[in-house]
């Protein structure tokens, strides 16, 4: 069973539609609950970072893992619209044969610093032993009721847009898989920097989300995100592969040139970049005046994702 | 660094005292937030079940792991007083080389059934790959403001009480470590049954918690729980080892006899039984009329835990 199929099955098992407080259950970046606040819904999300799936212990510093873990989760909250994270529960499974107290304290101090940047307060957690290390964050946040954006909401004719750049994390994963940290080039170090410190675009989202019909954060790559939006909205998403060009950072271009890779594969299929992917109607598009917005496709009647001007094989991004 | 020391360091790093909504932060069974509801606080908890730390994959069925995972978390909610769980986020790391779709669906269907028993609605989650399997639940619940009980609150002279029985889970862990499932005796099967389906005492807690000065759920064993209560309340806890006798189930007694173990070690140090441990003042003790309440010790001036009539070595319960 493919991962998306499994997730669909899970969604069916846990289909809960008899609780009026649940505004949005499983299947979006956050769950959305109405807990009685006049102006805000509460949002809830959980995300993990797992050894050998999302990181290699010898390659990344504890500080890097901590920052990435926080931003992965904050990204889910921000992708709900005018949202803010407030509280966190942190848990994890650690192996004292692999990491020591010093490592853990470095990790936690950075976690705290990064929490402070986002106004997040840790309210609890749990620590277990696990031979394969993992850390998990659960965030509790709020989103303004009038400015909430879901994965569902795109209409026929809407444009599919991306803010910022994609592909550098997939390149960083390739580097992590094949090299030691002290053997990487300056460009590669830069790509690892982008990978561990994904840029989140809160200001942009807060200012512009009123014009979005749907939004998802780019944790699984453009192609897979488009597939999710296609399913959620019961529409076909047509992407032009030529548009991938504007999504690639110069470092990714250069690295791909050196390593004889196609950089546009990296922007189409690479995940973990956490930039916003959203849909906008033709009517609303004129209100968006930011040169970092890149139109890459369009919603049409039909099903699935079509990639124009692409003759390669559709790849599934695996974190590792 | 010992686990308790590490947890103390973590608590210090994340000491958040500038948010009025946080009624109780890290360090109790649940975090407690005031989100504006007149009569209730919201409670939040997270707990994991990790392969080879909390379970052996070949030994336990997916249904057993699911039930245990839910009750571990519900226990944390109930131990806050007149509390109920409402919503859950489920996440995990799985390895398709170890478990297949069928296993996962059996696990999830049982999770759903067990959620239904407790009135819990799943609102989301996340699935990763991990070579060492783990599952995590985050629960969101409510506790009545007038009936909330913390770990802190015990006074000098209060009695330390336990409801129900302890020790069977530690015996089950011993069995899991050393035997194959199809090679265990009827008594051992019963102990595994108690281990995977810990009994939670919601009715008892709801009816009686108004008389408790402090409460903790027995996830780490009587001794370690007493140590936590001692620290939280800045008092000494004196336990009489003779009282361990009334905490042991007949099956544990019999199994220990056969295997030449001291059953009272199992009730003093064994964790994962999830029954309530609480303190009651002398004045309030007379209101408690339930033969399953067992007085095992008393809070005195001083520090640490003293075990009377015990000449063995203090053991640290490790889940595995």
Domain check: are B112 and B165 in the same one? no
A127 chain-B contacts, CB cut-off 8 A: 3, 6-7, 10
CATH number (domain holding residue A73): 3.30.1330.10
Final residue of a structural domain among B120, B147, B174: B147
Q: Per the domain annotation, does B318 fall within a domain?
A: no
Q: Per the domain annotation, does B301 fall within a domain?
A: yes
User: Region A260-285: what's the mean pLDDT?
Assistant: 94
Whole-number Å distance between alpha carbons of B42 and B51: 30
B1 chain-A contacts, CB cut-off 8 A: 101
Q: Per the domain annotation, does A7 fall within a domain?
A: no
Q: Per the domain annotation, does B152 fall within a domain?
A: no
Q: B15 pLDDT band (50/70/90 cuts)?
A: confident
Strands A81-94 and A40-50: what pairing? unpaired
Query: Domain limits at B108?
Result: 3-147
Q: How large a percentage of chain A has pLDDT more than 90?
A: 87
Report the chain B residue with the minimal C-alpha distance to residue A4.
B127
Domain check: are A136 and A174 in the same one? no
Domain check: are A250 and A184 in the same one? yes
CATH number (domain holding residue A237): 3.90.650.10
- Residue B93, chain A, CB below 8 Å: the answer is yes
Check residue A317 and give its pLDDT.
Answer: 55
Chain-chain contact of A50 with B320 (C-beta, under 8 angstroms): no
Domain check: are A123 and A183 in the same one? no
Whole-number Å distance between alpha carbons of B163 and B199: 11
Q: How large a percentage of chain B has pLDDT more than 90?
A: 87
Domain check: are A41 and A104 in the same one? yes
- Residue A48, chain B, CB below 8 Å: the answer is yes
- Residue A39, chain B, CB below 8 Å: the answer is no
User: Region B27-31: what's the mean pLDDT?
Assistant: 93
- In tens, the pLDDT along B117-153 reads 999 999 998 889 999 999 999 999 999 999 999 999 9
Domain check: are B79 and B99 in the same one? yes
Check residue B316 and give its pLDDT.
Answer: 63
User: Region A207-215: what's the mean pLDDT?
Assistant: 98
Final residue of a structural domain among B124, B147, B170: B147
Question: Å from B284 to nearest chain A CA?
Answer: 31
- Residue B54, chain A, CB below 8 Å: the answer is yes
Domain check: are A172 and A283 in the same one? yes
Question: Å from B172 to nearest chain A CA?
Answer: 19
Whole-number Å distance between alpha carbons of B197 and B68: 6
Residue A141 has pLDDT above 60, yes or no: yes
B129 chain-A contacts, CB cut-off 8 A: 50, 53, 318-320
- In tens, the pLDDT along A122-131 reads 999 888 999 9
Token pair listed for B303: 């520090």
Strands B121-129 and B81-94: what pairing? parallel
Chain-chain contact of B93 with A16 (C-beta, under 8 angstroms): no
- Residue A103, chain B, CB below 8 Å: the answer is no
Q: Per the domain annotation, does B319 fall within a domain?
A: no
Q: Per the domain annotation, does A140 fall within a domain?
A: yes
Q: A319 pLDDT band (50/70/90 cuts)?
A: low
Check residue A320 and give its pLDDT.
Answer: 44
Chain-chain contact of A7 with B122 (C-beta, under 8 angstroms): no
Domain check: are B122 and B184 in the same one? no
Give the number of domains in chain B: 2
Q: Who among B26, B42, B51 is closest to A124 (CB)?
A: B26
Residue A61 has pLDDT above 70, yes or no: yes
- In tens, the pLDDT along A9-34 reads 777 788 766 788 999 998 899 999 99
Q: How large a percentage of chain A has pLDDT more than 70?
A: 96
Final residue of a structural domain among B87, B121, B147: B147
Chain-chain contact of B124 with A25 (C-beta, under 8 angstroms): yes
Q: Per the domain annotation, does B34 fall within a domain?
A: yes
Interface contacts A/B by beta carbons within 8 Å: 191
Domain check: are B164 and B301 in the same one? yes
User: Region B224-232: what's the mean pLDDT?
Assistant: 96
Domain check: are A84 and A205 in the same one? no
Chain-chain contact of A129 with B89 (C-beta, under 8 angstroms): no
Residue A48 has pLDDT above 80, yes or no: yes
ipTM: 0.89
Whole-number Å distance between alpha carbons of A218 and B274: 40
Q: Who among A9, A50, A108 is closest to B128 (CB)?
A: A50
Q: How far is CA A151 from the centre of its chain?
A: 13
Q: Who among B27, B47, B104 is closest to A6 (CB)?
A: B104
A 124-163 residues with CB < 8 A to B: 124-132, 134, 136, 138, 140
For residues B230 and B294, the answer to whether their CB atoms sit within 8 Å is no
Q: Per the domain annotation, does B316 fall within a domain?
A: no
Question: Å from B141 to nearest chain A CA?
Answer: 11
Domain check: are B291 and B207 in the same one? yes
A136 chain-B contacts, CB cut-off 8 A: 46, 48, 91, 136
Chain-chain contact of A101 with B6 (C-beta, under 8 angstroms): yes
Question: Å from B46 to nearest chain A CA?
Answer: 6
- On average, the pLDDT of chain A sits at 93
- Residue A270, chain B, CB below 8 Å: the answer is no
Whole-number Å distance between alpha carbons of B69 and B47: 8
Q: Who among A26, A91, A138 is closest to B122 (CB)?
A: A26
Check residue B241 and give its pLDDT.
Answer: 94
A320 chain-B contacts, CB cut-off 8 A: 129
A122 chain-B contacts, CB cut-off 8 A: 14, 16, 25-26
Closest CA to A299 of A161, A162, A158, A150: A158
Q: Among A88, A138, A217, which would you mutate to test the B interface (most chain B Cβ atoms within 10 Å of its Cβ)?
A: A138
Chain-chain contact of B91 with A136 (C-beta, under 8 angstroms): yes
Domain check: are B196 and B222 in the same one? yes
Question: Å from A90 to nearest chain B CA?
Answer: 8
For residues B263 and B256, the answer to whether their CB atoms sit within 8 Å is yes
Residue B1 has pLDDT above 60, yes or no: no
B131 chain-A contacts, CB cut-off 8 A: 52, 132
Q: Who among A105, A123, A320 is closest to B26 (CB)?
A: A123
- In tens, the pLDDT along B33-62 reads 999 999 999 999 999 999 999 999 999 999
Residue B180 has pLDDT above 60, yes or no: yes
Q: Who among B36, B89, B121 is closest to A138 (CB)?
A: B89
Whole-number Å distance between alpha carbons of B220 and B223: 8
Check residue B10 and give its pLDDT.
Answer: 77
Whole-number Å distance between alpha carbons of A247 and A297: 13
Report the chain B residue with the minimal C-alpha distance to residue A102.
B1
Check residue B317 and give its pLDDT.
Answer: 56
Check residue B320 and give its pLDDT.
Answer: 44
Check residue B277 and give its pLDDT.
Answer: 98
Q: Who among B13, B47, B131 is closest to A112 (CB)?
A: B13
Token pair listed for B185: 């005796």
Check residue A252 and give its pLDDT.
Answer: 95
């Amino acid at each position: 069973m493919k991962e998306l199929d499994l997730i669909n099955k899970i969604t069916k098992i846990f289909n809960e539609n008899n609780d009026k407080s649940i505004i949005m259950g499983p299947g979006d970046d956050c769950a959305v609950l109405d807990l009685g606040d006049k102006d805000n819904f509460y949002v809830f999300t959980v995300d993990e970072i797992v050894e050998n799936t999302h990181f290699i212990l010898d390659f990344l510093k504890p500080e890097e893992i901590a920052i990435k873990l926080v931003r992965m989760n904050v990204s889910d909250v921000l992708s709900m619209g005018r949202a803010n994270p407030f509280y966190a529960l942190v848990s994890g499974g650690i192996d004292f044969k692999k990491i020591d107290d010093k490592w853990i304290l470095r990790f936690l101090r950075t976690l705290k610093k990064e929490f402070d940047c986002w106004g997040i307060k840790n309210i609890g957690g749990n620590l277990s032993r696990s031979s394969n290390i993992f850390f998990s964050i659960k965030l509790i946040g709020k989103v303004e009721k009038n400015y909430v954006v879901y994965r569902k909401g795109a209409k026929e004719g809407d444009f599919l847009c991306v803010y910022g750049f994609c592909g550098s994390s997939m390149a960083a994963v390739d580097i992590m898989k094949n090299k030691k940290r002290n053997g990487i080039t300056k460009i590669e170090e830069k790509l690892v920097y982008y990978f561990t410190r994904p840029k989140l675009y809160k200001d942009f989202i807060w200012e512009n989300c009123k014009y979005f019909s749907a939004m998802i954060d780019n944790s699984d790559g453009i192609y897979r995100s488009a597939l999710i939006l296609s399913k959620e909205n019961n529409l076909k998403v047509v992407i032009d592969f030529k548009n991938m060009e504007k999504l690639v950072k110069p470092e990714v271009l250069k690295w791909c040139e050196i390593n004889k890779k196609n950089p546009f594969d990296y922007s189409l299929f690479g995940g973990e970049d956490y930039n916003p992917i959203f849909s906008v109607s033709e009517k609303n598009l004129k209100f968006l005046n930011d040169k970092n917005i890149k139109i890459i496709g369009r919603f049409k009647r039909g099903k699935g994702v079509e990639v124009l001007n692409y003759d390669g094989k559709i790849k599934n991004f695996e974190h590792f």
